[in-house]
Amino acid sequence: MTALWPRAALVTALLTTWPAPAAGASARSALEQLTVHPASARILARYDRAKFMTGWRRAGTGGCDTRQTVLMRDDRSPGSGGCGGPTGLWHSPYDGRTLTNSAEIDVDHVVPLANAWISGAWRWSPARRHAFAHDLTRPELVVVSEEVNLDKGGRSPANWRPPVRGYWCAYARDWITVKRHYDLSVTPREKAALRVMLHTC
């Protein structure tokens, strides 16, 4: 059995690999480089979450699975260890809530799997889709309240934005970072919404 990493070492390793968010101007430039393509109802009809993931796989980091790794990474409480216990201190940036029970938490895919599918992931191999769903390097996985995640669902910025307006800049930058890395397209309305959000940077 793989020995658990000390929490401080694990968090340091994760933060070291996480790219710094692009400045507003850089994000706007990156947005303009994304392919614009209308959504296809025919492609969406073929979406199945199981084509990306069948659960939170073991990430190979201290023996913790992907969800546990994200919970541990974002836990602000002192002295917690292992693979992230049921209690801790988490901040949900979408709605500004402070959470102390992991049962109240969802680990959100910033770019939802359904959106990734219609944006180009339908062409990917199963291995690439699986890697996307468990990406701990790009800003794709974030701890949020279950309530706000259910409200977001699979919607893009064209139809949903974080209730906390002060988070729009970071959210838009993260969305663009993920889409650019994976060469995913945006719809015209999605691109327009991201431009509006970047104006808050």
Q: How far apart are CA 195 and CA 2, in angstroms?
A: 45
pLDDT of residue 166: 97
* The pLDDT of residue 21 is above 70: no
pLDDT tens by residue, 161-201: 999 999 999 999 999 999 999 999 999 999 999 999 999 99
Q: How far apart are CA 198 and CA 45, in angstroms?
A: 31
Q: How far apart are CA 136 and CA 90, in angstroms?
A: 18
* The pLDDT of residue 119 is above 90: yes
In sequence order, the β-bridge partners of residue 91 are: 98
- Helix, strand, coil content of the chain in percent (nearest 5): 45, 15, 40
pLDDT of residue 1: 34
pTM: 0.85
